[in-house]
Structure 1
Amino acid sequence: MAIKTMMQDSEGNTDYLWKEFKRGNQLAFASIYNLYVDRLFIYGSKLTPDRELVKDCIQEVFFDLYNKRHSLSDTDNIRYYLLKSLKNTLLRKIQRERRIIELNKKTTSDFNIEYSFEKKIIENEIEEEKKLLVKTILADLNDKQKEILFLRFMQGLSYSEISEIVDIASDSVKKQVYRTVKKIRKSLGAKTNMIFYLFFNLQKVSTF
């Protein structure tokens, strides 16, 4: 299968892409970079407002990835591997350089919700009633709930993958998702159809 064709299929056969990269195929490496760099920047920007730091960490993630390619194990989810690597790199750099208040892995108070679904949604000029409703719902979620929702519904990670990133048990992640969605449904009341609108707009703000 040609790498160029795979790029057109977005995240199609990533297993093949990963194996080609490990064999030293530079086009495969470039394809991985192009497929995931925007996702990484979006996620990193929600962990810290320091965008230059995020860019530096992304470059470091890919630099390390390339240098260690021959010793890497197989993975069936490149996106999960890169998201986890970026968070660990950011944690390490922030703690070392003390650029912002210490990013605590266990409390995930780091998930900067200036993160800002609200701000982006407002910029997208959503109708006033819907805008207010979405803003109210999101403001009622804590930082960890927002990070878990982001990883689950916007990045499509499994519960076990999310548990590795946020450092809580997989069962706890599943319960958090269930309780948060239930909480959102309760907030929506009679407008339960709006839950699809809410998640649609969360996905919309994941692009530049």
Structure 2
Amino acid sequence: MDLIVSDLTVTRGGVPVLEGVGFVLRPGQALVLRGPNGAGKTTLLRTIAGLQPALKGSVSGAEDRIAYAAHADGIKQVLTVAENLRLWADVFGQADIQPALEAFNLVELRDRAAGSLSAGQKRRLGLARLMVTGRPVWVLDEPTVSLDVASVALFADAVRLHLAGGGSALMATHIDLGLEAEVLDVTPHKAVLTNALEDFDEAFL
């Protein structure tokens, strides 16, 4: 099933930041969002993931199909690596966590408390959660933060495997992951502020 975004306007703090965004994300496809910091990529991803409402437009094909990963790793510090993955696998009705452990080089860390991991290891664990959700659409906001070169390669391989299995990926990243992916520059979709809003912004510059 396609993820279809139509004429979407998204807001931050009640102020429009992007407008007229539209695209179709098909099974097996990756789409990378590009644009300067503060352009609205995170706001767009959060809206598509259903974490905040759109001001205008629609998102279809997202219902119970999206796994969202943001800047926070979303792990339980007191649980082990394996227990974290098992928790998420149970939530999403999945059985096997071993492929996720192997894909993100976490097998030897499976019995370590998540709170004792390095920043990069925590990030790998946070991303490994995607593989135990069973959800076909991955929505990712700067997924390679805190990852070294080797770990970025592991993540890219996991995305390739996901795409090969009929999944899709929508991500904001400044890193070339070596994937075959379409690119959407959000800059042309920057919302045009009204005079009143422009005056309001300038008062705080």
- TM-score, scaled relative to structure 1: 0.30
- TM-score, scaled relative to structure 2: 0.30
Q: Which has the higher helix share?
A: 1
Q: Which has the higher strand share?
A: 2
